[in-house]
Structure 1
């Protein structure tokens, strides 16, 4: 019979090993929120939703991420955390973008993905493919810049009216994100902007200067030229050293998801959106903020209109950033973008929230 003096230490040892077992036990269910699990976990035990159904992270690691130069380092939900096996230098990022930009382009945007590039565009068939054609290069019905001469009116608009100018409730999420993460006396860059509601949201958050990178020439209202300016993408890329590591924040809403699909006359590029994220990373200061809004749902492309970002492509887009907050426009407060919320809409359905990321 064990004496009491020996029982207590034995019980402590048993409890210790039980706790270790609980902590290391894989959770194969889709966990709510951003769940950080052991980096030594078996990726075969963790699954995410795709248009094919639930697929293990091990399968995605081998069949998608590694083929694009990434590797899962933590099986986090709703998006696995990746590292880049050979991250390109900023010089390579911008020079490669410039090379692709100068390739010959068709007079009218194409309506189908070239067969020899289909696997790259669809992440080796882990991204659903649908059709939704747009010609915003030279069609009379295509989008054109507007309201750049009405900045003095926009800056007085109420939250919902300003944020809702282009994207209804979804656009309000950008305004809310910038109010929650104030930008007083900061300078930043906006990527893609048909009308300046993102820029005005930044001004309302206290920004001192904002530069807009846009394919169209913009005519900024005279009274705001001391705080706002614009540049064409090719000029921004050509002079990228001037902007490297200089911006406190960057912002983009419903723009990057089009990059590389040809809709706006841009070059066909299966990772055009990822290149944009790498460019942004290069021009942000360490710890700089990125306010990014694009379609969220189950991974898909509706060609040539846009991409929809789910657990797979989001992981690559967010490389090099820490995910801080998500705003939906329903409330001025952030929400928890769980796996359930990310995949709530049916296939090809989407919401456009604003994610707040911090450069690592």
Structure 2
């Protein structure tokens, strides 16, 4: 049995591809390592073998996992862990249970040695007991800069000890420090043009086919497209907001949203840190009072709350997934619903905050499409109102991660001097907040998201002449 464990302590069963019972014989390949693990304490004769790896990542072979045994911290660039528990072939074990606990660093100490010695402060994120299975799928959620510890406790009854019937408890206790932050950047050798031509049909099939889980690795036959002919490096940082959509898109009440509205009126930071500050400054210069606003992409109604707080005439949100925001001033649609809805109209203002960088990477169950972000930006033009006479052009506010160009698979893209001009080429850039050209050479981070203000090309000629140097790409 394979189990999925979330930080909300909700236990779900997923496809059973490694079903086992405590009495089931184990193959030689599954036997515990003869070398004692420095991370395991156990009763005599009960050397349980516990392994932690990224969920579904075929590049993490058994040999590679064992190579990591001596590392003080196990680096796993994923929000989903695969925890395997293999019992020894002894004692005719019964009534076996496994407890899995997740702890997150509070950030009081950054030193690796202090962390391993237990000197760093931690808080409990999850602590749950489950029936024995060979493998557990453990969701640890978004974690960018804080390390974690995984604790696995295994307990069972030994039916036979030294040839005699027994009811003795057997226990094993495993603790491992992990760092689930993004991996280092790597440039990929994508193959020659003939390979791409031969794989064109295969690429189309790969992009369109349904996946039980979002692919953990970039398909090699889409390498050239995702890396812009090998010029953009790849980092790994895996998320599954397709399978875990119910937890990624939580239902939000009127009372909760009204609390956010009050925070927005007080110009509080809430969701994206400094990006919220950039947004407030942008709205001072380009107010939305009395305007109809379309918000593209949302997992929490924070920017909807800002929309309400700034006295917009209407706030409409569209997303891949079904949103459940209960507030009379907010309308929500899936993309499919919006295309056939009477609310599909032209808007005065469009916001896309931390959305386009995810498009086409499969994280949210969307098809794999290397240029989905570029196409999405172009498609927004159809939602801008036509301008007449003195009517001002529609405004698009976009926030995406900015830095050295990179694809962080499958979490997001980071837009640098190669990709960012392509993203905005269908629009005229009239202003920016929080952006500097030096961002393109800054150290790696996933969270720096300036606000760019754009207009459709047709009505932006005059504004483009007045661009400040800080807003140029």
Q: Deviations over 1:32-74 (max 9, x none)?
A: xxxxxxxxxxxxxxxxxxx99xxxxxxxxxxxxxxxxxxxxxx
Following the alignment from structure 1 to structure 2, what is the Cα–Cα distance between the partners of residues 327 and 197? 19
**TM-score, length-scaled by structure 2:** 0.48
**TM-score, length-scaled by structure 1:** 0.63
Distance 1:270 1:277, change over 3 A: same
Q: 2:261 — aligned with what?
A: 155
DSSP-derived class of the 1:351 partner? coil
Q: 1:268 — aligned with what?
A: 368
1:194 to 2:194 alignment: no
Q: 1:289 — aligned with what?
A: 395
Following the alignment from structure 2 to structure 1, what is the Cα–Cα distance between the partners of residues 361 and 406? 13
Larger relative helix fraction: 1
- Compute the displacement of 1:142 (Å): 5.6
Distance 1:160 1:199, change over 3 A: same
1:129 to 2:234 alignment: yes
Following the alignment from structure 2 to structure 1, what is the Cα–Cα distance between the partners of residues 382 and 418? 23
Distance 1:348 1:166, change over 3 A: closer
Q: Deviations over 1:297-343 (max 9, x none)?
A: 11110100000001121111112212122223xxxxxxxx3422x22
1:323 to 2:429 alignment: yes
Q: 1:119 is matched with which residue: 216, 220, 224?
A: 224
Q: 2:440 — aligned with what?
A: 343
Aligned length: 248
DSSP-derived class of the 1:157 partner? helix
1:217 to 2:322 alignment: yes
Following the alignment from structure 2 to structure 1, what is the Cα–Cα distance between the partners of residues 431 and 250? 30
Structure 1 contact 297–350 (Cα < 8 Å) conserved: no
Larger relative strand fraction: 2
- Compute the displacement of 1:349 (Å): 5.6
Structure 1 contact 122–128 (Cα < 8 Å) conserved: yes
Q: 1:278 — aligned with what?
A: 378
Question: Which segments of 5 or more consecutive residues in structure 1 lack a partner in the other structure?
Answer: 1-50, 53-98, 329-336
Q: 2:419 — aligned with what?
A: 313
Following the alignment from structure 2 to structure 1, what is the Cα–Cα distance between the partners of residues 266 and 231? 36
- Compute the displacement of 1:277 (Å): 0.5
- Compute the displacement of 1:154 (Å): 1.3
Q: Which range moves more in the overlay, 172-181 or 203-212?
A: 172-181
- Compute the displacement of 1:184 (Å): 1.6
State how 1:54-93 maps to structure 2 within 5 Å: none
Q: Deviations over 1:194-218 (max 9, x none)?
A: 1111112122222101110023322
Structure 2 contact 429–454 (Cα < 8 Å) conserved: yes
- Compute the displacement of 1:274 (Å): 1.1
Following the alignment from structure 1 to structure 2, what is the Cα–Cα distance between the partners of residues 229 and 322? 28
Q: Deviations over 1:105-158 (max 9, x none)?
A: 101000111111110011111212111111111148962335453122111115
Following the alignment from structure 1 to structure 2, what is the Cα–Cα distance between the partners of residues 270 and 321? 20
Structure 1 contact 135–142 (Cα < 8 Å) conserved: no
The root-mean-square deviation of aligned C-alpha atoms, in Å, is 2.7
Following the alignment from structure 1 to structure 2, what is the Cα–Cα distance between the partners of residues 298 and 305? 16
Q: 1:13 — aligned with what?
A: none
Distance 1:311 1:112, change over 3 A: same
Following the alignment from structure 1 to structure 2, what is the Cα–Cα distance between the partners of residues 165 and 352? 14
